[in-house]
């Protein structure tokens, strides 16, 4: 699959490594430009590109940037794309965003409002990058971690759930984008590496 990854840090770099190793055709971009991505490209076989190049031909685009960078992304290019939102909102890093501070919007809904027309699916936001790198397990393993996947577009969600599974994690349907606050920071499933049943329970037990 052609996959664009925006962000080459902890989470974007990890997904570049893991998805390239699975044979996907990955283009990775960051804020400093392709010339800064030579080492990662050489290590993984991924293509170093601009943000525009990463989005342009991709069937799936992963966003792994500080949330405050989302409004600067070239929104028109994302129209119709499956967009995996791995981002979280941290006020100390991302600044005051009223709709997120008062929790009237999930952070993925806020992102989707900036990227109008994108088929946004929230995934990978609740697992530490190192665990995403190292803790994937074959299906059926007793210690397989479950990862919540939320979104409004059923086809997009199914494709992202298949990617999650191929990376060695049990995908758990976490409902809609508006309900994706249930996997945000400070919820039972955030950073806790539960199995699929534990994720289902944690999503149900989450309180606003």
Ligand X SMILES: NC(=O)c1ccc[n+]([C@@H]2O[C@H](COP(=O)([O-])OP(=O)(O)OC[C@H]3O[C@@H](n4cnc5c(N)ncnc54)[C@H](OP(=O)(O)O)[C@@H]3O)[C@@H](O)[C@H]2O)c1
Site of interaction with ligand X (CB under 6 A): 6-12, 29-32, 51, 64-67, 69, 72, 86-88, 125, 128-129
Least distance to ligand X, CB of residue 78, Å: 13
Are the CB atoms for 177 and 152 separated by under 8 Å? Answer: yes
SS3 187: coil
By Cβ distance, which residue is nearest to ligand X? 9
Rounded CA separation 207/181 (Å): 9
How is residue 169 written in tokens? 């994690």
Question: In terms of CB distance, is 71 or 154 closer to ligand X?
Answer: 71
Minimum distance of ligand X from residue 202's CB (angstroms) = 16
Identify which of residues 10 and 158 has a Cβ nearer to ligand X in the complex: 10
**Considering the complex, what minimum distance in angstroms separates the CB of residue 32 from ligand X?**
4
Cβ(180)–Cβ(108) under 8 Å?
Answer: yes
Output phi, psi for 4, to 5 deg.
-105, 135
For ligand X, the closer of residues 72 and 155 by Cβ is 72
Between 31 and 135, name the residue whose CB sits nearer to ligand X: 31
- Write down the least CB distance from residue 85 to ligand X, Å: 9
Contacts of 182 (CB under 8 A, 6+ apart): 148, 150, 174, 175, 189, 202, 203, 206
């Amino acid at each position: 699959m052609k996959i664009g990854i925006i962000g080459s840090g902890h989470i974007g770099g990890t997904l570049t490594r893991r998805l390239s190793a699975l044979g996907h055709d990955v283009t990775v971009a960051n804020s400093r430009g392709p010339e800064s991505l030579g080492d990662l490209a050489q290590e993984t076989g991924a293509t170093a590109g601009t943000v525009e190049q990463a989005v342009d031909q991709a069937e799936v685009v992963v966003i792994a940037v500080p949330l405050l960078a989302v409004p600067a992304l070239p929104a028109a290019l994302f129209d119709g794309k499956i967009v995996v939102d791995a981002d979280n909102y941290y006020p100390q890093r991302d600044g005051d965003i009223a709709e997120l501070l008062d929790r009237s919007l999930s952070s993925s809904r806020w992102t989707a409002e900036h990227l109008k027309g994108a088929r946004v699916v929230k995934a990978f936001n609740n697992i530490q990058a190192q665990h995403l790198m190292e803790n994937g397990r074959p299906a059926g393993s007793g210690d397989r971690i479950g990862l919540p996947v939320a979104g409004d577009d059923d086809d997009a969600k199914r494709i992202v759930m298949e990617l999650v599974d191929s990376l060695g994690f049990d995908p758990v349907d976490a409902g809609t984008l508006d309900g994706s606050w249930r996997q945000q920071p400070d919820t039972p499933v955030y950073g806790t590496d539960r199995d699929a049943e534990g994720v289902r329970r944690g999503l149900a037990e989450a309180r606003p």
